[in-house]
Structures are given as C-alpha cells and as structure tokens.
Structure 1
Amino acid sequence: MKYFICVVLLLSVVPLFLNAQSNYKPGYVVNFKNDTLNGFIDYREWARNPEEITFKQTLSGSPQKISVLNANAFGINNSEYYDRFVVNITTSTVELTQLSHKLDTAYVTDTVFLKNVVDGKNISLYVYTNSIKSSYYVLDKRLKTVISLKQYLYYDEENRSISSINSYTGQLLRLAVMYQPDNKGILTRIQKATYTEHDLSDIAIGINGGTKAQQSVHINSSVRFFAGAGVRSSKLQFKGDNTVAPFKEGSSDNAFSPVISGGMDFLLNKYTERLVVRLEVAAAMNRFKFSKQQGTGPTKYDLDFKQFNAAITPQILYNFYSTDNLKAFFDVGLAVNVFKYNNYNYVTTYSYGVVTTQNKYPQFQSLVISLPIKAGTQINKHIEIYGTYWIPASITRYIYYTTDLSAFQFGVNYLFK
C-alpha cells in the first residue's frame, strides 16, 4: 500500500514535469524570405500537427515562437519536417458513433503546417492530423499543386451499413498514369490501398519510382533490445477461513530470489522516446516455508516448497521526464506467469509421533495473470534502474481461502542502441 501511495504521488507531479520540461533538438526554420535559420526546436511528440513551436538559434539564446504567421517551414533534423500550405480541410468525422447519415463534403480552408511523410522527385505525401482525424495530401512537383486525397464515410440508413466514398483512389491513379505509365503493378496496389499512412506511403514511393529512386521516407519508430538482472522479494500470504485453510489468516513467508530478464522495446518515436511498448521475459525462483502448531499436544503442520517462475510481460512505458542523458518513467504491464513446483508435501506431525503427508497440497496454479507497476530512471541512454511492485494475485482456486503472491523487485537493465 505504501508503494501504491508513492506511485500516486509521483503521478500527481507529472504535469509539473511536463510543463517545465523542454526538449530542444537540432533543427531549422525557413522564414518568409526563404532564408533557412539553423538552431534548436523544442521537440514535442505531437499527436496533432502543431500550430506553434518554440525555436532558439542557440541553446543559450532567447526562445522565439514560430507559426504559419512567420515561417514557411520547419524541421527537426532526421526526424520530422513540416511545410506551410493553404489547404482545404474536411470537417466530416470518421468516428463510427458520430457518422453523418448522409454524405458530408463540408470543409474549411486554412493555412497550416503539413507533416511531410514521403519526399520524392515526382510527388510528396503529407498528413494533417487534428482533433477529428488524419487527412492526407499530395504535392505534385511538376504542377506545383497540393491535392487533398479525399475519403468520406457516412452511415447508409437504407442498407444499415457504413458507406465510403474513396475519391483518393482515382486521384492516385491519375498520378500513377502520369508518372509511371508502364507500371501496371502500381495500379493494382492503388485500387487495394486503404486510407492509411502505411498504404499511402507505399503508393507515393511507387509513383516516385520505387525505393531506389531519390526520395526520403521519414520513419520515427524503431526497435531496441535490453537485458538485465535484479533481486526480487516475494511474499506469499494465506487469507480466508481458518477452519479449512492449511494456515491461519495472515500467515505469510518472504522469499528472495535473483532475477534475469530481457526483451525488446518498440519506440513510437525514437527521437523523443516518450511512449514505449515493451515486451519482457523474466525468470526467477522462490522457496517458501510455512509451519504452525495447534492443540495441546501439539500437532504440527509444515509446508516447504520451491516455485520456479517464467513470465512474459507486455508493458506500456511512459517517460514523463525526458532529456538526452536522463529520463524518468512509469510503467504498467500485464504479466503472464508460468509456475512450476517441486514435488512438495503438506506434512502433519501428531503429538503421538504419527506423520502424514498430502502430496501437492495446497494445489498451486501453473498459470497466473498479475499486474506489475514499475518506476525508474534511464541514465546516459543505456542504463535503466527501476523498482517494480506486483499487486497481489491468488495462485490457488479454493472457495474458502486464497493464497496471494505479491513482490517487490529492484533491478538494472542495459539498453542496446
């Protein structure tokens, strides 16, 4: 419980970190004179296209606010690039619960920064994401015009189904015929393409002549691997009806075990590392001992067993504080635990010397789902120090009592980059 309170307090100060923290990365701004100003941009993991950014020409310089009112473009080196355009932005939603019951082609015209996804010799693909949806645009390099790739969804009341108008298919076919007239394969790919960044990027690359043609494809995601070791303190506690449980309410034992672990991280943005999807495998071993005496004799009850644990844990890791050399994170996962036990016995020793054994009693489960909560720091890009708490999970399935397993773990991971 104390650990849980600490976690809650930690989360309560996260907004303070987020508001105070800056993340300046090398980048540039192109002003209205088309002069390129090199410097540093406060790089955020933008879920929507930014309306305004903060720019410094030197790290010690004064920050400047950059928007469509004073810049034609900006970019974070080797990461994200944005260009200023005047475009039509559809206002129809794609949320299934909010779909219009008729075709809605309404739009607004606005000046915005479009994010460059593919930059090629024939066309460039851009995306604009706001609170409603993501919309895609193509810059035709020969005609020097921006084309809005259109798709409309609406609910067809007569057929009681969702209908789509995929205008982008015809638009891309015309571009393909113009720039790749002999490429029949790309025509088929366009007809099968969905209105997603993955499919549209693939089509844009094809119209530009394929991956060997001169072009840039901007991919921020990446994968890294890690390995580590730690020490785990596990607590096994009996809870329930004292008349049927093998040990009385609250009886517990603690076991200490070394832990080895490893896995991979899927970085949604390798330049900010703000949000990470982690898949971890770990192995440990516990030994628990229980003993009680009962009656005037007395009669003695003993349980001594070993528990081998292998776990696969998908996790969501969030770096709420992030600089190049120091990060602080919070992590929640769902552990799939596979347990194996030695050939243990529940031993009863009576006062008159008779000894009885019950093999594999209590019967412990071999597959248990548990919830680990983790917090820690990453130092100098490679060293990760953390602490984990496993919320108690029952490893038995008896009606009148439970046997709960919880744990604390402290460890170190090495991140391979």
Structure 2
Amino acid sequence: MKLFLLGILLSISALSFAQSNFQKGYVVNNEKDTLRGYIDYKEWDLNPGKIAFKTDLDAGIQDFTVKNSLAWAVTGLEIYQKYEVEVSMSQVDVSRLSVGRDNSKAKSVVFLKVLQTGKNATLFSYTDGIKQRFYLLEKDESIPYELGSQLYMKSKEDNLMVTDNQYIRQLGLVMTKLNVGTEAERHSLEISNYGIKPIMNAVAVINEQQLIKTNKNSAVRFFAGAGLNMSRAHYKGDTPFALPGAESKVSLMPLITAGFDLFANPAIGKLIYRAELSLLMGKHEATIREPSPSKTYMTHTFNQFTINITPQIIYNFYNTNRLKAFVGGGPGLNFSGYSNNKTTLYSNSGNETELTSRKIDLEKFNFSFPFTAGLVFNKKVEISAGYAFASPITNYSSFSINMQRYRVGVNYLFGKL
C-alpha cells in the first residue's frame, strides 16, 4: 500500500510539471491591437504581473507584462487593465501596525482586476503581499483612485487599534454628487466592512444597477462513496502484546464516505476545501505465545466502529476536464465505539482459560492525521488511496495501543464543475 501511494504521488508530480490551463481570452498590446487566443488561467492569490499567451493551442507561448500590454482577459471569467496608480503601504498585519496613521504610498504600474463596470464608475481590485485594495474610476476620469482603509495603533502606551474607513466617505461623496442611493443603501454603506461584497454593492448603487452573477460554476460539490478500510493495532510499552514475538492481525472491513467540497475558484477547480464524513469498522486481534514447555498464550480482541470527520485541503496538481490528479490531507476527528473488548489467557499445561472483559480501556475519541492521493475521471468518478499516521486509542502512561489505517475507495461526485 505504501508503494501504491508513493507511485500515485510520483505520477502526480510528473504530471504537474507539464500541466497548463489555457483558456480562451485576449490581450491588448501597447499598439492597442487586440490579440485573440488563449491565456494560461491560474488561481492567482495576488494580481499577476505576467501572463502566458498563445494565439492557438499549438502555438508557442508569449509572455505579456505591464511593459508590453495594456489589458487582457480570460473570456467570461476575469478582466485586467493596466494603470499607474498610487498604492497605499500601510499594514493590516496586527503585529506590524504603525503607531499613528501611515499615509505612505508608492506609485506603481500594475494590472488592476475589473470587478464591476457601469455608467458612472468602474470598480477594480489590487492585491499584493501586503493587502487587498479597491480602486474606483469615475466617469470621464482617466486614473482610478484607491478606496482607502487603514488600521493603526493609537499610541505606544495604549493597546488600542483604530480603523479609518476612508472608503465610506469617498463612496458617500460620489453618491451625493450623482444624487443616487436611498437612505437605507447609504446606511448599509456606513456600517459596512472593507470587503468585496459591500463595496460592490455600494458601486452598484452608484451605477444604478443590480449585481448579476456571471459565474455558471457551482462553488459546492457533494460526494458519496465506499471502499476498504485496512487497519492494524500497534502495541507499545509495558504490555505482553508489544514483545517481539507478538502478532497483530490486519483488519479488512468496508467503509462508507460522504461529504462536500468547496472550491476556492470554481472556474479553475484546483484548490478545494473538503469536509468528509466516514464510517469505519475494524476487527482486531493481538496474540503473544510463550515458548515450550508451558505453551501459554494470550490474546486481546476488540471490534471498533468509528465515525470520522475530516476537514481537508485538496489540490489538483493535474487538472483537465477528463482527468484530475490530486493530493490532500487534514486533521481527522474520530468518535469510536467498541465491542468484544476481551483479554484471554490460555495455559495448555493446566488446560485452563482465564477471560477478562474490558481489561484495557479504549478511548472513545482521538485525533488522526490522514493524507490521500487519487484521480478523478470526467469530473464524476474519484478513486483514491489514503494513509493515516498511527494515533493512540489508549491513555495509559506505561503502554499504548496505536491505530494505523490505510484505505482505498471510490466516490461519485455530484456537481456542475
């Protein structure tokens, strides 16, 4: 099983180096010519400074940056336009806040992401390694300005943070100038936070329009499946079942899984936040035999039924419509019940058996640390293999029983992605 998992990981790594995600789009060069073709679309956490472009899928790659292009777009998904703007440098990381206002700015030529267009204004966003910012370009103006928001410490002595929401005043002034917005809409702006949704709502009021959702892909996908759970109890410490001659059998039992996936970007589908519920079963038996002539042996048996809840991060290293290859992992929360928890001592010389039930107390809750790797075919069928590092199911100071699990399974995926 370990070799199988290693093989999947190596295969995925090899695929990921060669993978790209070219989608239909266009680039406007410095001569204002529109070049239509394909752009390598990625999950950009920060505004990209460079994109890869092809005139057709078999052509060579051209790189476009702020030096040789004015704008570019991935059709139906994202639009970026080049501007030279003032970028605020104040921090949002609490550990790095300035004492008093930090009004420092830097002029930069960047690609701004278009969030909304309308008859009165265009809204952009720009994210770098410091923070996310929003920019507004008013009608008949040529340069966008930043919608400001700043967090700073009041003084060195007072452990008090101050928030200056300049964007509320800025957007309020635009509403007043254009005579738009109801009292309720203005109040909603005044109590808003510096986030994409409330600012887009405010700019929609400025543009006297309703926001329209253009993303056809669902951000949520559900799944259900079944598989095989392979588990073994490992005994350590001051117990006969940890001696060199002891044997612990591997349990092979079915498992059932269900859950849902939340996509960071449904249009790409590479980064996925998964919540998985699994039902696991195991029948375990450990044996230690004494050498002749006594021929005494001892066994410990227990059956385990576990409800496992695992939040995971899944990443599709290879990501096409027909085939996806992924790895993932996250902490597992295990809620277990037990039966047939017995320790048996058998002596052949006296032909006697001593049976003790529940001599070893087993924990009803424990953490595990599983990871998984697998493939998805045609966005519907997922096959995977997983491994969970050994986690203790006892709470003794002198010895422990650690549960180690492998699993293989098949899931059916429900969703539009």
Fold equivalence (TM over 0.5): yes
On the 8 A contact 2:5/2:373 being kept in 1, the answer is no
On the 8 A contact 1:176/1:186 being kept in 2, the answer is no
On the 8 A contact 1:79/1:220 being kept in 2, the answer is no
Q: What displacement does 1:73 show?
A: 2.0
What does residue 371 of structure 2 align with? Answer: 373
What does residue 266 of structure 1 align with? Answer: 262
Deviating more after overlay: 393-402 vs 61-70 = 61-70
Read off the aligned partner of 1:199 and give its amino acid letter.
P
What does residue 302 of structure 1 align with? Answer: 299
What does residue 229 of structure 2 align with? Answer: 232
What does residue 202 of structure 1 align with? Answer: 201
On the 8 A contact 1:79/1:219 being kept in 2, the answer is no
On the 8 A contact 2:127/2:133 being kept in 1, the answer is yes
Does the residue aligned with 2:269 lie in a helix, a strand or coil? coil
What is the rounded CA distance, in whole Å, between the counterparts of 1:300 and 1:374 in structure 2? 38
Does the residue aligned with 1:371 lie in a helix, a strand or coil? strand
Q: What displacement does 1:259 show?
A: 1.3
Match among 195, 220, 223 for residue 223 of structure 1:
220
Match among 58, 68, 92 for residue 90 of structure 2:
92
What is the rounded CA distance, in whole Å, between the counterparts of 2:242 and 2:215 in structure 1? 61
Q: What displacement does 1:280 show?
A: 0.5
What does residue 311 of structure 1 align with? Answer: 308
Read off the aligned partner of 1:413 and give its amino acid letter.
N
On the 8 A contact 1:221/1:269 being kept in 2, the answer is no
What is the rounded CA distance, in whole Å, between the counterparts of 1:183 and 1:145 in structure 2? 28
What is the rounded CA distance, in whole Å, between the counterparts of 1:355 and 1:216 in structure 2? 72
TM-score by length of 2: 0.88
Residues 182/322 of structure 1: CA separation in 2 closer, same or farther (3 Å cut): closer
Residues 186/152 of structure 1: CA separation in 2 closer, same or farther (3 Å cut): same
Does the residue aligned with 1:48 lie in a helix, a strand or coil? coil
On the 8 A contact 1:311/1:336 being kept in 2, the answer is yes
What does residue 44 of structure 1 align with? Answer: 42
Which residues of 2 match residues 382-397 of structure 1 at below 5 A? Answer: 382-397=380-395
Unaligned runs of 5+ in 1: none
Q: What displacement does 1:395 show?
A: 0.7
Deviating more after overlay: 75-84 vs 172-181 = 172-181
Q: What is the alpha-carbon root mean square deviation over aligned residues? A: 2.9
What is the rounded CA distance, in whole Å, between the counterparts of 2:230 and 2:133 in structure 1? 51
What does residue 80 of structure 2 align with? Answer: 82
What is the rounded CA distance, in whole Å, between the counterparts of 2:338 and 2:367 in structure 1? 17
Q: What displacement does 1:3 show?
A: 5.7
What does residue 277 of structure 1 align with? Answer: 273
On the 8 A contact 1:29/1:74 being kept in 2, the answer is yes
On the 8 A contact 1:220/1:269 being kept in 2, the answer is no
What does residue 338 of structure 1 align with? Answer: 335
On the 8 A contact 1:117/1:217 being kept in 2, the answer is no
Match among 105, 108, 113 for residue 107 of structure 1:
105
Residues 188/343 of structure 1: CA separation in 2 closer, same or farther (3 Å cut): same
Q: What displacement does 1:20 show?
A: 3.7
Q: What displacement does 1:322 show?
A: 2.3
What does residue 160 of structure 2 align with? Answer: 161
Q: What displacement does 1:315 show?
A: 0.4
Q: 2:253 matched to 1:257?
A: yes
Deviating more after overlay: 399-408 vs 248-257 = 248-257
What is the rounded CA distance, in whole Å, between the counterparts of 1:221 and 1:108 in structure 2? 38
Q: 2:315 matched to 1:322?
A: no
Q: What displacement does 1:298 show?
A: 4.0
Unaligned runs of 5+ in 2: none
Deviating more after overlay: 158-167 vs 80-89 = 158-167
On the 8 A contact 2:331/2:369 being kept in 1, the answer is yes
What is the rounded CA distance, in whole Å, between the counterparts of 1:255 and 1:193 in structure 2? 55
Does the residue aligned with 2:315 lie in a helix, a strand or coil? strand
Residues 372/180 of structure 1: CA separation in 2 closer, same or farther (3 Å cut): farther
Q: What displacement does 1:131 show?
A: 1.6
Residues 80/219 of structure 1: CA separation in 2 closer, same or farther (3 Å cut): farther
What is the rounded CA distance, in whole Å, between the counterparts of 2:203 and 2:358 in structure 1? 63
Q: What displacement does 1:302 show?
A: 3.1
What is the rounded CA distance, in whole Å, between the counterparts of 2:7 and 2:364 in structure 1? 30
Does the residue aligned with 1:342 lie in a helix, a strand or coil? strand
Q: What displacement does 1:105 show?
A: 1.3
Match among 43, 53, 70 for residue 51 of structure 2:
53
Which residues of 2 match residues 109-188 of structure 1 at below 5 A? Answer: 109-141=107-139, 146-156=144-154, 157-179=156-178, 181-188=180-187
Cα deviation digits, residues 279-322 of structure 1 (max 9, x gap): 00111211112333447444443333321121111001112222
TM-score by length of 1: 0.88
Q: 2:278 matched to 1:287?
A: no
What does residue 241 of structure 1 align with? Answer: 238
Q: What displacement does 1:176 show?
A: 2.7
Does the residue aligned with 1:169 lie in a helix, a strand or coil? helix
Q: What displacement does 1:397 show?
A: 1.0
On the 8 A contact 2:241/2:247 being kept in 1, the answer is no
On the 8 A contact 1:315/1:332 being kept in 2, the answer is yes
Does the residue aligned with 2:250 lie in a helix, a strand or coil? strand
What is the rounded CA distance, in whole Å, between the counterparts of 1:341 and 1:112 in structure 2? 61
On the 8 A contact 1:237/1:253 being kept in 2, the answer is no
